[in-house]
Every structure is written in structure tokens, then in C-alpha cells.
A and B are shown apart, each in its own frame.
Chain A
Amino acid sequence: MADLLGAFEQAVLLAVWNLAGQAYGRAVLRGTQSALDRQASAGAVYATLDRLEQKGLLISRIETGTAVRSGRARRYYQLTAVGVRALNESKTALEQLWGGAKWPLESKA
């Protein structure tokens, strides 16, 4: 099994997955914030996208920008097969980890 993804990495990857073909930086940031239900720093999200792309979990493509962004290009992200497998493995690992425990946990003290 590959290294397990951190919670933040999973949130970013799931945001990309949920946005289908429309996952550019700003949309991923909003999707991540929504999934985590808190403000995430733009710098942290872009750094994570960059890292995940370097690890081969994401690929990106550049498209022409709109007028509201003064024509500056957008970078769209997409999960690779490796990225999908890493997400699936992370979910499976978590489920296995919690499998034997009765939820919610009760204090034994």
C-alpha cells in the first residue's frame, strides 16, 4: 500500500474529484474549505496541489483566462489513476482502522 494521504490532502483531492473537469485553483480552494468546514489558506491549498501533482496523483492543464481575471490563464487539475487509487486506499485503510471499534467511543476512565 502506498503512503496514506493526510486529511488535508484527501480534502483537496476530493474537491478536485467533485469538480470533475472544472477544478481550477480557486474552485478547489472553495471546495476544500467547504469539505473541511473552515477557512483554508490559499497558499496551503496551492502548495498541496503542487505536491500532489509532483507525486503523480494529479495532472494539470492550462486554459485561457476570462476577462474578470484580465485574461490570465487558469490551471485545471484532474485526478490520475494513481490519485484515485490513493484515495480509495486511504478510505479503505481508515475503515479497517475503525472496523473493530464500537462507535462512538466511550471513555474507560
Chain B
Amino acid sequence: MTRHAPPRWLETLLQRCLPARDRETISGDLLEEYREVQLPRLGPLQADLWYLRQLLGFLAVKSFGGSTIRATLTWMSVITALAGVWLAVMENLLKHPGYPQRSAIAACIVIQGLATLLFLMWHGRATFRVIVLAGAVGAAVLGASAIIRDLNAPHFEGFVLLIGAALIVQGMMSLVVVGGARHGRAF
């Protein structure tokens, strides 16, 4: 079957990122560009990737008013959530001693990253604020302890240092951005 529109979930996600005033007009503009230019030129898969890029651009710029710190926090949240998924998968594949506990920690990292993203996307909805703030403290502490243990371990692992640093940065930024936000006015 030939498809003539971006995947529904991408469109829904885009509309979630946009203020109510612009939902119809901007999603219409992107649909028009998708159908008239990107789909005929690139084919469905790459056209979908183009649409995803636009969505990420809106996530970083439109929803957050061009604020660099909020855009950076968005990307940090995506990176730490993906790192958490990767850690959980690797722990469950390798099954080294203590892997259930480390899998649980990885799951917490994913939840914290996703909660931060949801908070940013839903324009500072208060429901996620407490989760994000608690998670931010946890992420920063976890990142710091991972780095300290890595530096003292007999075999230094570079990826632990990277993920630890990402967790600290994301935790600190979440505290600044989300902690300073007021419900409904932050974004």
C-alpha cells in the first residue's frame, strides 16, 4: 500500500510539541512539504526521517523559545535515556554478577530521561516536575559515583566516564531548568 503521510505517531508527537495556536498551521505546512517535495524526492523512509528531523528541530527550538540551555537539556535527556536502554540491554545479555541491580539502575536512568523529555514537551506540566527533580538529583549522584568507582577500578572503562559525565550534566541542567520553572509559564 502506498503511504501519503508521515507516520501518525510522528504527527501526534509534533502536535504535542506545538502551542495550540500553531498546531494545525505548522503541521499542515510540514505535511504539504512532505507530500509535495520530500516523499517524491526521497521515498517513504527518508521522507519519514526528514519529518523526524523537523520534529526534533521543533523540540529544540520552537517549544523552548530558542533557549540554548533547554535545547541542550533535551538532547542530554535523549542521550541519557538511550544510554540507559543500552546499559540495560548489555547487562541482560552479559549477565555479570549483580546485573539485576544494575539493570534496575539503567531503568531508572531511562525513566528520568523520558520524564525530563515529557516535562519539556508538555510545556512544564507539573505532574512530571517532582519526578524530574528527584530523578535529576539521583542522576547526578549516580553519575558522580560511577565516575569515582571507574577511576578507582583496576580496569578503567571510558564509556562509564562518558555516561557518568552525561548524567551529572543532565542532572545539574534539569535542576536549573526544571527547578526554576513555574507551572504553565516555564516554556
**Residues of A near any B CB (own CB < 8 A):** 24-26, 29, 41-44, 46-47, 50, 62, 65-66, 68-70, 72-75
Contacts and interface: CB of A to CB of B under 8 A. Distances in A.
Nearest to A41: B57
B131 interface: no
A44 B56 CA distance: 12
Contact of A47 (B24, B28, B30, B66): B66
Contacts of A41: 57, 61
Given A25-B26, A73-B24, A75-B22, A47 B61 contact: yes
Given A43-B57, A46-B62, A72 B31 contact: yes
B68 interface: no
The number of chain B residues touching the other chain, given as a range, is: 20 to 34
Given A42-B26, A69-B29, 10 more contacts: A24-B29, A41-B57, A42-B29, A44-B61, A47-B61, A65-B24, A68-B35, A69-B32, A70-B28, A72-B24
A24 B5 CA distance: 21
B128 to A, nearest CB: 22
B28 A73 contact: yes
B179 interface: no
Nearest to A62: B25
Given A25-B25, A72-B24, A73-B25, A43 B54 contact: yes
A107 B25 CA distance: 49
Interface of B: 5, 22, 24-33, 35-36, 54, 57-62, 65-66
Contacts of B54: 42-43
B62 A75 contact: no
A26 B29 contact: yes
A66 B31 CA distance: 11
B105 to A, nearest CB: 34
9 contacts: A25-B26, A25-B29, A29-B29, A43-B62, A47-B66, A66-B32, A69-B29, A69-B32, A72-B27
A75 B23 CA distance: 11
Nearest to B36: A68
Given A72-B24, A75-B22, A44 B57 contact: yes
